[in-house]
């Protein structure tokens, strides 16, 4: 009885707190607050050939100024596949775990696919900061992360998961598996902590191992992880190599975007609340600053980026160019009206800033005129929902609408 009451208090109080915070925090404006506050991509003399000719240099600038070096392109190798459950989620899905050799380290990939599919499946590749076992609520016999410093949270459901979801939304750790399977998508989960643990003690040795002396940061290393999952999936004919999406929330959303800039095999990006170092403009003076992000998470970026802490306006590149590097592939930018920390307006303006490059490929890019005019058929779309930072059921409705609009497939 006492335990039950404590449990209830532990869950209800945070929920009430989240409700109050969300009412007190300022709401992001619906209107576009003006033209991108960034040097626009010069359209004078811009052609597909000139853009494509300059891609490698621009990628190298993102490595030099912000993220550190891309680890390399040696493909991952699947060394074993195990069936965990041939009819998981009440017969809807087949769950497998694959052993994957990434070169410098090994990992496990967990793959969930609609049961009985007869055609190559579209896939959503995801990384979550609580880990793969948590994504399944501890319900299956999945392996722990290979790297002992990799973080997991709430692996066995219980109060930890309940607390997490009351603060960050129902799907912060567990995506809506049934809904995704019913819509015909497979899911592939990689624990980013196997590549670089997300903590200041585990990250430096992992980066050393991965980079062999070259300077780099965790965001681009995790992005490389998405690319390695694409290697693994492309080696399996059950998956459609023309419909490979990457999904990430927040820090993982930054990496998902970087991954698509570097790896053209990624067909679509769902980048939810990516914020600074992700979809939002570095020069935007709203939300998290470069000084804040690099002080709290120094191992996410290279040292040069931290140097822009007091001089953001001096950074010679900005995130609209990173979005442009994935043109004309579809990008969904997700946000919350009270999540000013991740600066949805700055992301909107970065999307607009990428339009000249989308136009080179005959795409309108981001064409909505207000943040609340979500159009899932557009190649760059901004989706906003009520509330704060986290992953809610309405977010997944929007992700799936966007996927359906771009990956229309028979079921
Ligand atoms: C922190 C960080 C953000 C990041 C977020 C997350 O808030 O400052 O940059 O996006 O964590 O990953 O949840």
Ligand 1 pocket member 288 (CB < 6 A): yes
Ligand 1 pocket member 250 (CB < 6 A): yes
Question: What is the residue with the minimal CA distance to atom 10 of ligand 1?
Answer: 250
Q: CA-to-CA distance for 70 and 302, rounded, in angstroms?
A: 11
Q: Which atom of ligand 1 is nearest to the CA of 277?
A: 9
38, pLDDT greater than 90: no
409, pLDDT greater than 60: no
∠ CA 202-203-208 to the nearest 5 degrees?
110
5, pLDDT greater than 80: no
Average pLDDT over residues 1-23: 55
**pLDDT at residue 158, as a whole number:** 77
Distance between Cα 65 and ligand 1 center (Å): 20
11, pLDDT greater than 60: no
Ligand 1 pocket member 272 (CB < 6 A): no
Average pLDDT over residues 102-128: 97
For residue range 352-398, list pLDDT tens digits in order.
999 999 999 999 999 999 999 999 999 999 999 999 999 999 999 99
Ligand 1 pocket member 335 (CB < 6 A): no
Average pLDDT over residues 9-31: 64
DSSP string, 100-166: EE-SSSEEEEEEEEETT--SPEEEEEEE-TT-HHHHTTT-S-PPPPSSTT-----TT-HHHHHHHHH
Average pLDDT over residues 32-55: 82
DSSP secondary structure code for residue 299 in this structure: G
Other CB atoms closer than 10 Å to residue 164's CB: what's the count?
A: 20
When pLDDT is cut at 50, 70 and 90, the band that residue 29 belongs to is: confident
Distance between Cα 288 and ligand 1 center (Å): 9
Average pLDDT over residues 105-120: 97
| Lowest-confidence region among 156-170, 227-241, 325-339, 379-393 | 156-170
The CATH number of domain 2-407 is 1.10.132.20: no
Average pLDDT over residues 193-209: 97
Q: Which residues pair with 82 in a beta bridge?
A: 97
Question: Token pair 């939300």 is at which residue?
Answer: 287
| Lowest-confidence region among 153-157, 254-258, 341-345, 399-403 | 153-157
Distance of CA 363 to the CA centre of its chain: 23
Calculate what percentage of the chain has a pLDDT beyond 70: 91
Residue 387 in tokens: 């509330």
Give yes or no for a cis peptide into 87 (omega within 30° of 0).
no
**pLDDT at residue 24, as a whole number:** 64
**pLDDT at residue 411, as a whole number:** 40
For the whole model, what pTM was predicted?
0.94
Distance between Cα 26 and ligand 1 center (Å): 19
CA dihedral 347, 349, 351, 352 (to 10 degrees): 170
Higher pLDDT, 219 or 129: 219
**pLDDT at residue 410, as a whole number:** 44
DSSP secondary structure code for residue 410 in this structure: -
Domain ranges of the chain: 2-407
When pLDDT is cut at 50, 70 and 90, the band that residue 30 belongs to is: confident
What is the rounded average pLDDT for all residues in the chain?
Answer: 92
**pLDDT at residue 232, as a whole number:** 98
120, pLDDT greater than 90: yes
Q: Which atom of ligand 1 is nearest to the CA of 273?
A: 10
Q: What is the CA radius of gyration of the chain?
A: 20
Strands 77-87, 93-101: pairing is: antiparallel
101, pLDDT greater than 90: yes
**pLDDT at residue 14, as a whole number:** 57
Distance between Cα 251 and ligand 1 center (Å): 6
Of the candidates 291, 129, 317, 284, the one whose C-alpha atom is nearest the C-alpha of residue 218 is 129
Calculate what percentage of the chain has a pLDDT beyond 90: 83
12, pLDDT greater than 80: no
259, pLDDT greater than 70: yes
Distance between Cα 387 and ligand 1 center (Å): 16
**pLDDT at residue 162, as a whole number:** 85
305, pLDDT greater than 90: yes
When pLDDT is cut at 50, 70 and 90, the band that residue 285 belongs to is: confident
Of the candidates 340, 403, 394, 367, the one whose C-alpha atom is nearest the C-alpha of residue 126 is 403
Q: Which atom of ligand 1 is nearest to the CA of 341?
A: 7
Q: Which atom of ligand 1 is nearest to the CA of 293?
A: 8
Strands 121-127, 186-190: pairing is: parallel
CA dihedral 195, 197, 202, 208 (to 10 degrees): 30
Burial string for 289-324 (b: 16+ CB within 10 Å, else e) reads bbeebbeebbbbbbeebbebeeebeebebbbbbbbb
């Amino acid at each position: 009885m006492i335990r039950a009451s404590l449990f209830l208090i532990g869950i209800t109080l945070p929920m009430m707190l989240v409700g109050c915070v969300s009412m007190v925090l300022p709401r992001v404006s619906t209107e576009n607050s003006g033209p991108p506050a960034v040097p626009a991509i010069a359209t004078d003399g811009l052609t597909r050939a000139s853009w494509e000719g300059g891609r490698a240099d621009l990628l190298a600038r993102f490595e030099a100024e912000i993220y550190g070096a891309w680890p390399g392109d040696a493909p991952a190798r699947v060394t074993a596949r195990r069936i965990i459950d041939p009819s998981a989620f009440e017969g809807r899905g087949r769950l497998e775990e694959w052993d994957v050799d990434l070169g410098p380290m090994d990992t496990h990939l967990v793959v969930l696919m609609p049961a009985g599919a007869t055609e190559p499946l579209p896939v959503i590749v995801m990384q979550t900061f609580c880990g793969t076992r948590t994504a399944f609520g501890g319900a299956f016999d999945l392996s722990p992360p290979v790297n002992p410093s990799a973080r997991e949270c709430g692996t066995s459901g219980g109060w930890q998961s309940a607390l997490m979801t009351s603060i960050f939304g129902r799907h912060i750790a567990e995506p809506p598996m049934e809904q995704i399977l019913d819509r015909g998508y497979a899911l592939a989960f990689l624990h980013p902590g196997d590549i670089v643990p997300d903590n200041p003690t585990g990250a430096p040795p992992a980066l050393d191992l991965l980079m062999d002396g070259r300077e780099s940061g965790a965001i681009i290393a995790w992005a490389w992880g998405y690319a390695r999952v694409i290697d693994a999936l492309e080696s399996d004919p059950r998956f459609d190599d023309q419909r490979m999406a990457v999904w990430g929330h927040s820090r993982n959303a930054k990496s998902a975007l970087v991954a698509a800039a570097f790896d053209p095999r990624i067909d679509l990006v769902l980048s939810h609340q990516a914020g600074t170092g992700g979809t939002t403009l570095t020069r935007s003076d709203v939300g998290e600053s470069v000084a804040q992000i690099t002080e709290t998470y120094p191992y996410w970026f290279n040292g040069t980026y931290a140097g822009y802490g007091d001089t953001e306006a001096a950074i010679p590149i900005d995130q609209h160019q990173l979005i442009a590097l994935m043109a004309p592939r579809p990008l969904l930018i997700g946000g919350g009206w009270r999540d000013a920390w991740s600066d949805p307006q700055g992301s909107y303006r970065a999307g607009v800033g990428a339009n000249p490059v989308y136009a080179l490929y005959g795409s309108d890019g981001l064409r909505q005129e207000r943040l609340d005019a979500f159009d899932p058929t557009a190649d760059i779309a901004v989706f906003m929902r009520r509330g704060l930072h986290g992953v809610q059921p309405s977010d997944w409705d929007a992700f799936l609408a966007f996927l359906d609009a771009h990956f229309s497939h028979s079921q």
